[in-house]
Chains A and B, each alone.
Chain A
Amino acid sequence: MSLPKIEELWELKKFSPNPNQKEAILHSEGPLFLSAGPGSGKTRVLLWRTLNLIVFHNVKPEEIFLSTFTEKAAHQLKEGLRSLLGLVSNYTNQSYDLSKMALGTVHSICNQIITDRRFTDGHRVPPPVLMDELKQYFYLYRRNFWEDLIKSGGYEKEEDANKEINDYLSNYPSSSRHNAVQNIISIFNRFSEECLVPASIKTNDKVLKKILKMYQYYLTGLNGKIRKVDFAILQQCAFDTIQSSVTASNVYKHVIIDEYQDTNHIQEKLFFSLAKGNKNITIVGDDDQALYRFRGATVENLVEFENRCKQFLGIKPQKIDLSHNYRSRKKIVSVYSSFMDKTNWQRKRPEKGYYRILKNLVAINNDTKPSVIVSSYSKSPEVYAEIAQLVKEMKESGKIEDYNQIAFLFPTLKSRSRVDGLREALGRLDIRVYAPRAGRFLEIEEAMAIWGLLSKIFGRPKYTEYFSQGLRDYSNWISECRRFADTIIANDSQLKSFIQDKKEELSLVTEDFEILAGVLKRKKWNLTDSFKMEMLRDLLKPSSLSNKAKKNLQSEFFNKAVELRETQGKPFKIINILNRATSVDWSILDLFYQLNAFTHFKEMYSMAETGEDEGPICNLGLITQYLARYMEEVSAVITGTFLSDDKFVNSFFGSFTYALYRLGESEYEDADDPFPKGRVPFLTIHQAKGLEFPVVVLGSIFKKDRGPRKNEIIIRDLLKKEGEPLDRMNEFDNMRMFYVALSRAKNLLVLPHYKGGSAAIEPFKELFEENKFTLIEDFDLTTLPEAILDEEDLGKSYSYTGDYLNYNKCPRNYMIFNKYGFVPSRSQTMFFGSLVHKTIEDLHHLLIQERKKIAS
């Protein structure tokens, strides 16, 4: 069979694009600006456009750069594309290989670019080690590093430094290192995203001068033998790769960027440099839906795209508007359109236009019945009850199949009064809520059980004085964990005895350490002295030393290791020997897996093995990741040395866990979607980005205008950048955020009309005044269309070895380590296999490269 026309394929997939969609799909050359409103079918357009390029314009998948905002979105695009291309293959018998296509988040593609041999003239470039946010935090937080860092800025005392930094960056002179580190990370990341070169910056601001010096010190420190990068610097690193490559601007024939409103400065530079050769850059986005300024995104990238494109590539892009809304009922579209007009977006000089791209959104849906409804104008508790009752009625009348079709959206889940109020109101009607990351991870039951039991084994840090409310809260949290552990232990005599055993083991090695430390003292040896074999006799002398320690010191294996080190000229230090003699046989992760054998946890596994409930096991998996992180950051083995003087307790509970506790969880993570059945999802508006729901309830329609962030002021001043006026930035951002919330609704949008202070921002008040919204109590439920579950099964990829063989070997093992991402504590096979494969791959590349050299 021969290749069908694209129109035939559309017909097959029952897709009839509107003229603008069609134009966008068939566009194949030159820069393109797709201004895509909410629900305008942009993902579909992106899919078909990519298919058109691959199938009808012979662009190879690896010549396409396609970035999205989340890995999940990338995954969906990839599977969608694979499925459409499969359709084509049925006609042509030709397959398309997507494995080398650059499809992912900007960060993940940057990671690929750095090692992509197309940019490096075929040479191997080892990838840098990527520090995620938590790693970056611990990297800076470590006392030694932090002290050196502030010294580099010219500070002498940590307290002074912390106070000054915190006061400068967040207007509050706290002496907390935790706060200072968070503030510094935020400004450092912003510097990196703006490609700021600290040495070239001139400023008279004394504190800023110090911070810039510290930033320089930070940058230098990352360039060790193995290069480290944080997320922001990863992008710089990719940009450097592109800059130093002669072929870079022609590697990708098409550069396509989705969610362009949330890109930042370094990303813009990256995109234009990649598109320089072919000039085929396509950007897709909606400035009204920009949400991530606080992470360095600049909506100006999109608003100014036409000019920037002209400036960087010499051509003006074609602009196509996707303004037909396929998602929402008519009234919903008109309400959120008019919402945006409640703020004046005009620039200071009106001839310069607007800070916003003006749009004319058209609803495809013709149903003009009420679809935006409002609560009575009442005090909060009454509004909560009214809304909860509506939710119940919608379910009972069958207008929704499941509670997870109603989303409650909030500007933040951290300000609890509205969240808790609505949750309780729903609870009174026996409706359960799913609120991912509404609280701390450490406060969930599974975490409290594990940390409680660990604390029963190891003890807890002792605080003589509480310097902050945060510390007091944390200390209370430990107490609560311990109480919870007590109730678990009380029901399980085996667990009780297990814990007793572990405690005895720990006190044994601690005693051994003290005995050996005594020998050192008598002999006047230091822990850091080199160890010599003849010292062994003295160390073994004390009769009170445990048999286990003696055995450890006399083992053949150990003696060989000592000998080997001596012949290599790098003998062990005495501390190594003491650690060897007094180490317990298990790590904290081993302990975790052992504790899981007891009834309390074992039931969680049983529920997961039958697919009954996967919540608890997901949480246990996350716990292993945190415990592994501790072992990575601090120590894998537990020794008498480490246990003495409460060092371990202070390090694990007093420092590591406390940091986790204070960091909390980010509210801006993606929520899992689809949401668990039977519960009403409570989400931040950020989490709802890109999603849609049959019914949306806004839990809060108020957000304080806090003025611009300090980072914005600093950057504006340092780089003399133009952009949205600082005094209006926050107002604009709040408008955009609520716009995203309003436009998530398909069939019904519910607004609360609270009485009292902090009830609504001005534009909402105006909306209420201008519109005669139907009240909840007057709303005729029968007019509400039934919610249809329209999940399109895009399919998943399964690896032959990773999924199929592993599942066949043991389904349970597969579930734990592959599906829920538990970190193994002992297994070395994965590491071993990766190491061998990676090195053989490098060898092959080297040989291919050598042959090419000879051939030319």
Chain B
Amino acid sequence: MTDQEIEKQIREYFEENYELLRLEGGHALTEAGKQDAFYQVLYYWKKLKDIANKVTETEVKLSLPNQETTKGRKFSIEGVVDIVREENETWMYDIKTHDPDYVNTHKELYEKQLNIYAHIWHKLRGNPLDYTAIIATTLPAGLRNAIQTNNERQKEFELNKWKPVIEIPFVEKHIENTINDFKKVVDNIEDKKFAPPPLKVLQEKMEGSNTRFATRVCRNCDSRFSCTSYQEYVQSLGSKSFAAFKKYFNDFGEDTDQEQWIEANLENAPPPETVEPIT
């Protein structure tokens, strides 16, 4: 197949998957969101043809069985990755729809995860990995701009500049720590400890970023209204008046988000026919 044919194929797969997911979940993506998703796939292909062409196993499910928590609960750890195998080398990629800058500034988070996966792989298949990396598919702002303005030279330039493959070194010592931490989480889940993080966490800026936890995590959480910590956070911002409380109810994100939400769903608005109750 030529590159062009493959691009055409990507478009077809994408539209089909979109329809299926929409029908399954009953949700629509906004036009902009959908476009974004498509570009992530398309530019993954344009930028990383070499890797994509060498993938030997895709969406491989990894599982580390027979773990036991401190409270004696048995469990296993699971993850999904892509594998490239060449003559004597095996590479593992974890494709994420994250921002490469974020990945770079939070490398140890990803290290923990990929090191565990590498460990499972090694146990499962016997042969160690030679290289593990995150592929972060969020397009940099410059590239997005170039695409939008359809500036070919700029696109070329930005595409070259973009570094979506971020190598993650293997650190043996992480593994035990991570598994121990994982054990705690399993015990917490089974012991039904589900309190939200305290107000202090919501007020703090997220590591390596300029946004607060409350903005980045809570505002994207549909159940924030009934959350004690979030209510405290809103009240801590200033006015404790009832009017302020009401306002926070109507906070569905930025104006543009709101417009996009309506736009995305208007297509499915009901037809103007009359509706009779069924008798």
Contacts and interface: CB of A to CB of B under 8 A. Distances in A.
Interface in A808-835: 808-817, 819, 822, 824-835
Nearest to B259: A557
B133 interface: no
Interface majority SS (helix, strand, loop, mixed), chain A: helix
Interface in B1-50: 1, 6, 9-10, 13-14, 16-30, 33-34, 36-37, 40-41, 44-45
A771 interface: no
A631 interface: yes
Contacts of B82: 844
B218 to A, nearest CB: 8
B182 A494 contact: no
Interface residues of B, number: 111
Interface residues on A, range: 35 or more
B275 A647 contact: yes
B277 A655 contact: yes
Interface string B217-256: 1101111011110010000000000100110011011001
Contacts of A659: 278
Given A95-B123, A647-B275, A826-B222, A832 B65 contact: no
A605 B250 CA distance: 21
Contacts of A614: 192
Contact of B278 (A98, A654, A833, A842): A654
Interface centre among A124, A576, A832 (most CB of B within 10 A): A832
Given A461-B277, A798-B77, A838-B17, A803 B221 contact: no
B211 interface: no
Contact of A798 (B53, B78, B246, B275): B78
Contacts of A636: 26, 28, 265, 268-269
B73 A843 contact: no
A352 interface: no
A795 interface: yes
B177 interface: no
B249 A840 contact: no
B20 A808 contact: no
B246 A501 contact: yes
Interface stretch (A366-374, A412-420, A583-591, A729-737): A583-591
A78 to B, nearest CB: 10
Given A558-B259, A611-B194, A82 B97 contact: no
Nearest to B82: A844
A846 interface: yes
Interface in A771-803: 793-801, 803
Contacts of A575: 271-272
Nearest to B95: A840
A677 to B, nearest CB: 13
A85 interface: yes
Given A647-B270, A846-B6, A594 B249 contact: yes
B278 A810 contact: no
B259 A811 contact: no
A611 B223 contact: no
A839 interface: yes
A12 to B, nearest CB: 14
A31 B202 CA distance: 61
Contacts of B116: 800
A238 interface: no
A474 B28 CA distance: 33
B161 interface: no
A79 to B, nearest CB: 8
Interface in A837-854: 837-848, 850-851
Contacts of A838: 17, 21
Interface stretch (A389-397, A479-487, A530-538, A638-646): A638-646
A126 B23 CA distance: 13
Given A793-B73, A836-B40, A95 B228 contact: no
Given A94-B126, A848-B56, A842 B30 contact: no
Nearest to B202: A810
A596 B276 contact: no
A795 B18 CA distance: 35
Contact of A847 (B55, B74, B76): B55
A465 to B, nearest CB: 7
A844 B55 contact: yes
Contacts of B10: 839, 843
B50 to A, nearest CB: 11
B137 interface: yes
Contact of A835 (B21, B186, B256, B266): B21
B226 A601 contact: yes
Given A575-B271, A636-B268, A655-B278, 10 more contacts: A465-B279, A585-B262, A594-B249, A605-B223, A803-B185, A822-B222, A826-B252, A827-B220, A835-B14, A844-B55
11 contacts: A557-B256, A558-B263, A576-B266, A580-B266, A583-B269, A593-B222, A641-B269, A641-B270, A810-B217, A836-B41, A847-B52
Interface of A: 82-83, 85-86, 89, 94-95, 97-100, 124, 126-127, 129, 177-178, 226, 461-463, 465-468, 471, 494, 497-498, 501, 527, 555, 557-558, 561, 575-576, 579-580, 583, 585-587, 589-590, 593-594, 596-597, 601-602, 605-606, 608-611, 614, 628-629, 631-632, 634-637, 639, 641-642, 645-651, 653-655, 658-659, 793-801, 803-805, 807-817, 819, 822, 824-848, 850-851
- 4 interchain residue pairs of minimum CB distance: A654-B277, A611-B192, A632-B26, A795-B74
